[in-house]
Chains A and B, each alone.
Chain A
Amino acid sequence: MNLAEYKGVFVFAQQVDNEVSGIALELIGKGKDLANDLGTEVTAVLVGSDVKALADELAAYGADKVIVVDDPELKEYRTEPYAHALASVIEKYKPEIFLVGATAIGRDLGPRVSARIHTGLTADCTQLEIGDFPINPIPGKEQLHNQLLMTRPAFGGNTIATIACPNFRPQMATVRPGVMQKLPKDESKKAVIEEFNPGFTPDNKYVEILKVVKSVVDTVDIMDAKILVSGGRGVGSAENFKLLDDLAEVLGATVSCSRAVVDAGWKPKDLQVGQTGKTVRPNVYFAIGISGAIQHLAGMEESDVIIAINRDETAPIFDVADYGIVGDLNKILPALTEKLKAEIAAK
Chain B
Amino acid sequence: MKIVVCIKQVPDTKGGVKFNPDGTLDRGAMLTIMNPDDKAGLEAALRLKDQYGAEVTVITMGLPKAEEVLREAMAMGADKGILVTDRVLGGADTWATSQTLAGAIRNLEYDLIITGRQAIDGDTAQVGPQISEHLGIPVISYAQKIEVEGDSVIVERQYDDRYHVLKAKMPCLVTALAELNEPRYMTPGGIFDAYNAEITVWGRADLKDVDDSNLGLKGSPTQIAKASDKVRKGAGEKVTLDPTESVDYIIGKLKEKHVI
Residues of A that sit less than 8 Å from B by CB: 16, 76-80, 83, 103-105, 107-108, 110-112, 114-116, 118-124, 133-135, 149, 153-168, 204-215, 219, 227, 251, 263, 269-270, 275, 283-284, 293-295, 297, 301, 304-307, 309, 313, 318-328, 331-332, 335-336, 339-340, 343-344
Whether A207 contacts B161 by the Cβ 8 Å rule is no
Contact with A along B103-129 (1 / 0, CB 8 A): 000000000000000001111111111
Q: Mark B225-241 against chain A: 1 for CB-CB distance below 8 A, else 0.
A: 11111101111111111
Asked if B65 is at the interface (CB within 8 A of a chain A CB), the reply is: no
Chain B residues with Cβ under 8 A from A306's Cβ? 236
* Chain B residues with CB below 8 A from A343, complex form: 251, 260
Report the bound CA distance from A275 to B158 in whole Å.
16
A215/B161 in contact, CB under 8 A: yes
Which residues of the other chain, B, contact A168 by a CB distance below 8 angstroms?
A: 221
Residues of chain A within 8 A of B69, CB atoms compared? none
> Would A123 and B123 be within 8 Å (CB), given that A163-B223, A210-B166 are in contact?
yes
Are A205 and B138 neighbours in the complex by a CB distance under 8 Å? Answer: yes
Say whether B154 faces chain A, with CB atoms less than 8 Å apart.
yes
Contact partner, B223, options A164, A207, A215, A307, Cβ 8 Å: A164
Cβ contact of A336, chosen from B124, B172, B232, B251, cutoff 8 A = B251
Contact among A105, A121, A331 for B126, CB-based, below 8 A: A121
- Asked if residues A107 and B162 are in contact (CB atoms below 8 Å), the reply is no
| Chain A residues with CB under 8 A of B1 | none
Query: What are the nearest 8 A-B pairs in CB distance?
Result: A120-B221, A120-B222, A115-B133, A123-B124, A322-B236, A324-B238, A111-B126, A111-B129
Q: Which residues of B contact A112 (CB under 8 A)?
A: 129-130, 132-133, 139
Is there a chain A Cβ closer than 8 Å to B244's Cβ?
yes
Contact between A219 and B241 (Cβ–Cβ < 8 Å)?
Answer: no
Residue of A163, A318, A336 near B247 (CB, 8 A) is A336
Distance to closest chain B CB from A211 (angstroms):
4
User: Chain B nearest CB: distance from A71 CB in Å?
Assistant: 18
Give the interface size class of chain B: 35 or more
Whether B159 lies near A104 (C-beta < 8 A) is yes
- Mostly helix, strand, loop or mixed at chain A's interface? mixed
Are A307 and B238 neighbours in the complex by a CB distance under 8 Å? no
Q: Determine the chain A residues whose CB is within 8 A of the CB of B141 once the complex forms.
A: 79, 104, 107-108
What would 13 more interface pairs be, CB under 8 Å, given A104-B141, A208-B168? A76-B164, A104-B142, A118-B221, A121-B126, A123-B126, A133-B225, A155-B25, A158-B230, A207-B138, A207-B140, A215-B161, A293-B14, A325-B239
**Contact of B123 (CB < 8 Å), options: A77, A83, A156:** A156
- Interface: B257 (CB within 8 A): yes
Contacts of B237 in A (CB 8 A): 322-324
Residues of A within 8 A of B127 (CB): 111
Q: Considering the chains assembled together, what is the distance between the CA atoms of A64 and B229 in angstroms?
A: 38
Is B169 an interface position by the 8 A CB rule? yes
Q: Judging by beta carbons under 8 Å apart, are B228 and A124 in contact?
A: no
Whether B179 sits at the interface, judged by CB under 8 Å, is yes
- B21 close to chain A: CB less than 8 A: no
| Cβ–Cβ contact B162 & A214, under 8 A | yes
Alpha-carbon distance A35/B210, docked complex (angstroms): 36
Does any Cβ of A come within 8 Å of B250's Cβ? yes
Residue contact B137 to A123, C-beta cutoff 8 Å: no
Looking at B127, B154, B253, B259, the one whose CB has the most chain A CB atoms below 10 A away is: B259
Closest to A342 in B: B251
Whether B13 lies near A115 (C-beta < 8 A) is no
Q: For the complex, give the distance between the alpha carbons of A166 and B220 in Å.
A: 11
Q: Which residues of A contact B167 (CB under 8 A)?
A: 207-208, 210
A251 to B127, alpha carbons, bound, how many Å? 43
**Please, how many angstroms separate the alpha-carbon atoms of A321 and B226 in the complex?**
28
Closest CB in chain A relative to B7 CB, distance in Å: 18
- Which chain A residues border B192 with CB–CB below 8 Å? none
Q: Determine the distance from Cα of A340 to Cα of B126 in the docked complex, in whole angstroms.
A: 47
Q: Which of A78, A80, A213, A309 contacts B162 (CB 8 A)?
A: A213
Give the distance in Å from the alpha carbon of A107 to the alpha carbon of B239 in the complex. 41
Q: Are A120 and B121 in contact (CB under 8 A)?
A: no
Q: B251 touching A263 by the CB < 8 A rule?
A: no
Contact check, B243 vs A165: say whether CB atoms are below 8 A apart. no
Is A325 a contact partner of B228 (Cβ separation < 8 A)? no
Q: Which of B139, B162, B221, B240 contacts A215 (CB 8 A)?
A: B162
Please tell me which one of the listed residues B158, B159, B221, B238 contacts residue A321 in the complex, with CB atoms under 8 A apart: B238
Q: If the complex has contacts A122-B222, A162-B225, A319-B232, are A108 and B129 also in contact, measured as CB distance less than 8 A?
A: yes
CA distance A123 to B221 in the complex (A): 13
Q: Does B160 contact A (CB under 8 A)?
A: yes
Query: CB < 8 Å: which of B95, B121, B244 contacts A335?
Result: B244
Does B197 touch A at the CB level, under 8 Å? Answer: no
**1/0 contact string of B166-210 vs chain A (CB within 8 Å):** 111100100000010000000000000000000000000000000
Closest chain A residue, CB of each to CB of B172: A207
**Which of chain B's residues have a CB closer than 8 A to the CB of A294?**
13, 17
Q: Determine how close the nearest CB of chain B comes to the CB of A275; give it in whole angstroms.
A: 7
With A162-B226, A325-B249, A340-B251 already in contact, the answer to whether A213 and B142 are too (CB < 8 A) is: no
12 A-B pairs in the complex with CB atoms less than 8 angstroms apart? A108-B141, A114-B130, A159-B229, A163-B222, A167-B221, A205-B136, A283-B259, A305-B257, A305-B259, A321-B235, A322-B236, A332-B246
